[in-house]
Structure formats: C-alpha cells, structure tokens
C-alpha cells in the first residue's frame, strides 16, 4: 500500500541504452531526428545523475528493433510491492513490454500482468500517463492509455492497497506526465493547460512559467529534482521553493517526445 515518501524515495533504477534506431522514434511534431551519439552522451549524463542521487542503476542493452525502447517507463510500473508489466498504446511499442519483463523478474519477487476485463479485452496503458503520489495513483486517459487499461491497472494493484484515479489528459498533450511531474508527496509541478481541468486541486501546485511548458516533466529523485536544461525560470522557481535542482541536457530525447521521467524505471526495494 502507499508508503510516505514512496513517490520520490528510490534505491534502484532500470534504464535501457538508446539504440541507433532512435532516429526512427515516434514523435508528435517533427523537429528533426535525434543525433544518436549525442543521445547516448546525454543518456550517460542522466544515469550519472541518478547514481549521484543515490540510486543503483542497471542499464539494459539497446533494442534496435524497438526505436523507442529507451523510454522504459512506458512499458512497466514499479512499486515497492512489485512490478506491473504494462501494454503500450502505440502498436509499434507493444513488444517493449515483453522485452522489459526479464529485468523486472531480476529486480522483483512479484511481477504482474494486466488482466483482460470483460468485453473490453486488453486495455492499453503507458507509464507516461501514470503518476504515483504518496496517496494514490493518478492515470491520465490519453491517445496511448484507454479506460480498459486504467481499469485493468486498478484491478491488478487493488490488493496492494492502491487507489487508482482516472483523469483526463487534454488532447493536445501526448502523455499526462508530459505536462506534470511530482516534486514531493503533496506537490506537483504542472502546466496551466493541464491544471485547468481542476483535477489536481487537492495537491499543492507549482505552475511552470509560460513558454517553459516542456520543463513540467521533471522528476524528483530522493533529495534532488532532475529538470531538463534550458528552462532557467522554472529552475529558479523550484530553487526558491526549496528544491535542489539538477538541470540535464535533454535535447535529443525531446525530439522524440522524451522527458526526464520516461528514461528510467525507478523503485525502492522493501527490505
């Protein structure tokens, strides 16, 4: 069941090295293909930041057949009690969930799969739409995550004591967490367009400045907040609010709709 601090206190992380095929990764808007060599360098800096924050990291081999597989968060949900293998909504990414399972079995005693429920069959859900807080799991319905997928997740984590709450992701936003990130158990960094729905009103909200919406996908790791570089007003805002900020280069992941959270599966092992 939810544990205070579980939403940002971690001991381990699983990453996957970017493949050369990342140049063929999915993107909502084409701003140019990522430079594979620069992506690898930025990915290494991200791993270094996780380790500096106190995490033991495992980096899986690249998967050339799955260009987007570097974004491991979409394929699974990791909780202290165990891991859940998800079902990505993009058809070209379905195989990523199968490929991440061996690493989950190495890391967790319990690895679960989403059930097929009633007439809805197999739902679809990506980790980019899932935000775990200290009191619930928020899931944004999006083009990649449907109602059946959310209901399946609700069923599979019920006996672990989790409440799953469905929210609406505005249609112009790819993933729910494209526009938000958890800063602590009760505080969410968000864009105004996501917050406009009013569903996050029971949390303390910090709004990213206009023009820096891409900074919203920050990720809290123990005592630091990892923020994509290039958003100085957001960095200053967070530091003023009392958070330690580490800005990391993310230009290449951003070209294929990637942010700070989707590059890793973070979890805390229960002794």
CA gap 55, 48 in Å, rounded: 9
Instruction: Give, in order, the Cα–Cα distances in Å from 48 to each of 41, 42, 54, 86, 153.
Output: 11, 10, 10, 27, 32
Helices (H), the chain: 36-52, 94-107, 147-157, 192-195, 232-240, 251-254
| Active-site hit among 12, 43, 78, 262 | 262
Contact 247, 229 (CB under 8 A): yes
The catalytic residue among 12, 78, 175, 180 is: 175
Three-state SS for 178?
A: helix
120 given a catalytic annotation: no
Cα dihedral sign, 252-258-261-263? negative
175 is catalytic: yes
Residues forming the active site: 175, 262
């Amino acid at each position: 069941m939810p544990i205070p601090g579980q939403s940002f206190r971690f001991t381990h992380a699983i990453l996957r090295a970017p493949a050369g095929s990342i140049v063929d990764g999915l993107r909502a808007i084409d701003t140019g293909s990522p430079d594979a060599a620069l992506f690898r360098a930025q990915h290494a800096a991200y791993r270094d930041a996780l380790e500096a924050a106190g995490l033991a990291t495992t980096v899986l081999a690249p998967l050339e057949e799955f260009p987007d597989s570097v974004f491991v968060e979409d394929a699974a949900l990791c909780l202290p009690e165990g891991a859940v293998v998800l079902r990505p909504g993009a058809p070209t990414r379905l195989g990523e969930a199968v490929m991440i399972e061996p690493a989950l079995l190495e890391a967790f005693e319990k690895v679960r799969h989403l059930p097929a429920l009633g007439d809805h069959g197999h739902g679809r859900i990506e980790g980019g739409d899932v935000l775990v807080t200290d009191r619930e799991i928020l899931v944004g319905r999006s083009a990649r995550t449907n109602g059946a997928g959310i209901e399946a997740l609700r069923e599979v984590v019920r006996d672990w004591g989790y409440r799953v709450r469905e929210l609406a992701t505005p249609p112009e936003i790819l993933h729910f967490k494209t526009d938000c990130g958890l800063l602590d158990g009760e505080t969410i960094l968000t864009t105004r367009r996501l917050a406009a729905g009013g569903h996050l009103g029971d949390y303390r909200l910090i709004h990213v400045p206009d023009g820096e919406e891409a900074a919203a996908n920050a990720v809290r790791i123990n005592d630091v907040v990892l923020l994509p570089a290039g958003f100085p007003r957001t960095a200053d805002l967070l530091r003023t609010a009392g958070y330690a900020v580490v800005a990391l280069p993310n230009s290449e992941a951003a070209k294929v709709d990637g942010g700070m959270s989707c590059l890793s599966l973070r979890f805390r092992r229960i002794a």
